Every structure is written in C-alpha cells, then in structure tokens.
Structure 1
Amino acid sequence: MESMTETEQRATRDQRARFEALARVVTEPLHRYLLRRAEPDQVDDVLSETLLVLWRRIEDVPGLEASGYVSGPAPDPDAVLPWCYGVARGCLANARRADRRRRSLLERLTWTVAGAARETGDADHTALHAALAQLRALDREVVLLWAYEELTPSRIAEVTGLSANAVSIRLHRAKKKLAAQLERKTGPHPGHETDEGQGTATGNGNGRSSR
C-alpha cells in the first residue's frame, strides 16, 4: 500500500506530465492568438500568465484525460484549445485592466502634482515606478489606494488604520515627493527654467542680465 507521500508524488508527476503535454500543443497557438490582440510588450507576460493558470487548473481543462501523457497520444487541439483561448482572453483582459490602472495613476499624479509627471509620457512608466519605490512603504500604500482604488482619505484610513487627517498629510507629502522625483527625471518644465548655465538672467523682461 502506497504512503500518502508516494501518492502525492505520483499525482504531482502525473500533473506535470499532463501540463507538459498540454503546453506542447497549445503554446504556439496561444502565442499567435495573443500576437493578434495584445500590445507587443504584453504578449510574453500574458502568455506566461496563461500557462500558469493552465498549470493551476489542469484538472478543469476539458478534453484532457486524467492519465498522464508520458508515452500516450498528445491532447487533441480541437478539444483543449477553445478552453485555453478563453483563459488567454481572461489573462489579457486582466493585463489591460492593470495597464489602465497604471495609466490612471500616472494621469492622476500628472494633474494633481502640478504637471511634474507629464514629461514621462504614456509609453514608459519606469520613472513613475522608480519614484514610487523611493517612498516609504506606508506612504506608497496610501498613494496607491488613492490612485488605483480611488479611495478617499477616510476610506484609506479604514484600510491602513491611520486617522483620516494623517492620511491626508501623508498623501500630500507623498505627492510632493513624487513630483520632485519625476521633475528630477524629466527636467524643469516650460516657464520654470532657471538661468543656470544659460548665460542669461531672467526677471527684467528685456533679455538682458540685471546688474
């Protein structure tokens, strides 16, 4: 009689064999499916997430026999692909929602921090993520709850255990820090240039330096 450990090990081996057989059949079709629908920089990440879901839900894949595929026939693509396409579609929708949340965060910071984030653009969020990483963990959580979940300070207070006033103070200070970080990344904005290194002092309105 097998021990529980041996039974579990055999079940794990069977799960792995079934997943590997499934992956050999569906990976390329799923990749083509995503190439036609996702942004180029999303494809690999969404494909990886799709395969992870398939691994976790291997028992739910219709048309996939319970026994392993170590030496038997490969799964029938017509039987397994429609369900796998549905998983990929869901993963792509999740990725798009996450991207919209990132854009929402960038836009909210752009308009509430005097435009300091504007120069980062929509295509690259590296500067924003780096600026967020510079915040203390609790301040970052407050900003994310405000920007992503669109919670008010009183609701953020319920989540974090802070008072609403403390949340408001932290949020105000955190947004100022983010603005400063982003402005250092992107440079001063039009209308706020200094005369450092330009050879011209401002302030007298005639383009000549004051003496």
Structure 2
Amino acid sequence: MAAHLLLIDDHTLFRTGLRLIVQEHPDVGTISEAGSIAQACGLKSMGGTGDGEEVDLVLLDILMPGMSGLDGVRPLREAFPRARIVLVSASVGPDAVREARARGADGFLPKSASGDDILEAIGLVLSGQSCFPAANASAHSPAKAALTSRQLDVLRLLCTGKPNKVIARDLGLSENTVRVHVTAIFAQLGVDSRSAALLCAQRLGLVDWPSPVDPEFMSPQ
C-alpha cells in the first residue's frame, strides 16, 4: 500500500520543491501539506489528510513559526501515532541532531540534501529504520552537490538575468520544465526570489562572475 506523506514547512516554495522530489518515490502515494504544527494537527480532525487515511511519514522543518519542529514532535506523535517523523534543517549541527534523537524523531535531513539522498532516506524510514547524519558529517553540505547538472545550468543562466523563456530556448527545454527547475533551485538554496538566488549562488561559489542585471531579471517568466 502506498505511503501517505505529510510535509510541514512554513515556506510554500520549499514544500513545492520537496513535493516534486518525494512524489517520485515508488512507495509514496498521497502527499498532504501544512504550514505550521497547529495546521498539521488540525488536518486530522478536519479530515484534511484524506478519507480517514493514516499518515505514514512526516517531513518536518525544524524552524517553524509558533512552535519549532523539535517541540512539534510530541503533538504530531499524538495526532498521527503511526507516523514516522523526520526533521528537516538548513544545517546538520551535532547539537540539533542529538536533540532530534532525544525528542524521538526517526530521522534528520539537511535541506541541502540531494534528491537521491531524500528518496533514499524516505525508503529507509518507511522500512522502519532510522536515518541520521553520521557523527562526522559536515554541518553544511555543499549546495553544488545538492543540485543536478541541469539545475546548475539553469541557475547559471538565471544569474545572468535571462528569463525562463530564454533559458528554455538556450537549453532546449520547455518553459514549464525550466519553471520546475527554478522552483527546485530556490528550495535547495533556501531563497524565494531570483535576486536572492543570485546572491546565494555567488556566495557559495556556484557562479563566480558579476552578473548583469537584466530588466526582466525580477520576473519569474
């Protein structure tokens, strides 16, 4: 039976990017979303998680408004007793990982994890195993490793100020495919605009030239 996932993150953009990844897992069926712990717990009483369908896995952002992901583990356990819970964080600091274990989480994923790593983690956790970073893992995984080669191509063109239409033409892709890549790039970099993506990409060394500001740069099209 296909698993029911619940994605909890206050950033709609990141949830969208994560959904695009997790929906590719062969064991994943229904995917529900929430922007806060309270909203997630409320889905149970409102029937928002499906027709009586139990949640099998929760992917929970550690930094949430109101109640943090760490504090949210307990109420989520009460709302969804069968669910496995994996915390998702922008970093993999040892203190945060230890605290996640202490709170009873079943896994811990950095937001910079690659799509393949996320899918592998889902498989492990759904099979009943835990999934935590190794003790000697770097606190910040290289963002470049988290982006596919095609996403890097899109990012470099995006950073020159080219709109989606031109990026699609240059790379021989459809505009919709480019939009999907841009959404995934924003999610991996933890940004919500093209200008922020440019600054982040330059800071991380993904691009190393001063990009000209195209008049259409701020447009998502």
**Structure 2 length as normaliser, TM-score?**
0.23
Which structure has the highest strand share of the two? 2
Larger radius of gyration: 1
The answer to which structure has the higher helix fraction is 1
